[in-house]
Amino acid sequence: MELELRHLKTVRTIAEAGSLTRAASLLGLAQPALSAQLRRIERALGGALFERGRHGVRATGLGELVLERARLVLPAVSGLQQEAVRFARAQAGREGGPLRLGGTHGPLLGALVDRLAAVLPEARVTTHASWSERELAALLGEGRLDYVLTGVCGTATPPDTGQPAWEEFAVDPVFVMLADGHPLAGAREVDLAELADEEWTCVPGDGCFADCFTAACARAGFAPRRMYETDVASCAHLVQVGRAVGLCRATFPATPGIATRPLAGTPLLWRHLLGRPPATPLAGTAATVLAEARAAHAQAAARNDSYADWLARRGGPARRLTPPGSSPVPDPALNDTGRGVHAPWPGLP
């Protein structure tokens, strides 16, 4: 693993917080995830950065060296980014510059690029894909991205790094991916408890889904077994060969050898979000991007037979989805214009 700026920020946060528990809370991570990340950083640097004790953590000699450099590097890089953004905006102007989109890996980002190319033919569209929702939010807050496609589960709040503005444009149920030959592949829906003995596959991520999934499994009476964390194509392969099952968005595209089925009772939901800088009004280009994100989702939903069947059995747009422990949220068949609309352990493919 190569050392990145975000790793230095993590080390600095741990040192300032004085404990992994407080640092995890500040970073929006579960403590086990932060501990695992710290171990990877320490392996990359060749030694322990902190000593743990009853009263928290204390930097080692190597840790003090890294922190000293981080206190110089991080402000310098932040200043460079701000100056570069101001310079680029002065040179090209906001309307004449490229349209910079960010998103987690998945088909919706590509579909949005396709639609924007049709409605904004003069725009120069660039994309930045990342497994990290916090990274995307930070890039948005720093002015290095114009819009970000991401999502959160249930009633969780979106990343607040840089204070971006978020628009919810769709809500989906979470489905399960099964091999075509799986005993449950022919069912119209699958109870999460029926998967208690399965192994799982997932894509990386640093959002809320790990905690949401673990809580849903606990409510179903089990703890997940072995987890394979890998890219989307490898997740699909592990499901196809029967090595594992996985969770996916209800709009997951049809894939040979894979059946996607709804979970009984809809224990997990995924809310699709479009982020923009707080100073950008929801008008002009921003309104166009939001409308095209909704349309891209609607197309994805219409192409998924399992999702269409699920919606039809619910009685159509009059029904509503409700995350556990929350008030009702809009049905995924509708957005606020009345048109159709459109992440496993920690992320959904």
Q: Write the pLDDT tens digit of every residue in 244-255.
A: 999 988 988 889
Mean pLDDT of the chain: 83
The percent of residues above 70 in pLDDT, for the chain, comes to 86
The tens digit of pLDDT for each residue in 193-232 reads: 999 999 999 888 777 777 888 889 999 999 988 889 888 8
Mean pLDDT along residues 52-59: 88
Mean pLDDT along residues 118-135: 88
Q: What is the 3-state secondary structure (H, E, C) of 8-64?
A: HHHHHHHHHHCCHHHHHHHHCCCHHHHHHHHHHHHHHHCCCCEEEECCEEEECHHHH
Closest C-alpha to 210, from 348, 81, 321, 49: 348
Residue 324 pLDDT grade (very low, low, confident, very high; cuts 50, 70, 90): very low
Q: Can you give the pLDDT at residue 208?
A: 74
Q: Between the ranges 4-8, 77-81, 161-165, where is the mean pLDDT highest?
A: 4-8
DSSP string, 160-180: -TT--EEEEEEEEEEEEEEET
**pLDDT above 60 (res 93):** no
Which residue blocks in 46-184 are alpha helix, DSSP H?
Answer: 61-92, 107-119, 133-141
**pLDDT above 80 (res 316):** no
Question: Which region among 24-38, 192-206, 276-290 has the lowest average model confidence (pLDDT)?
Answer: 276-290
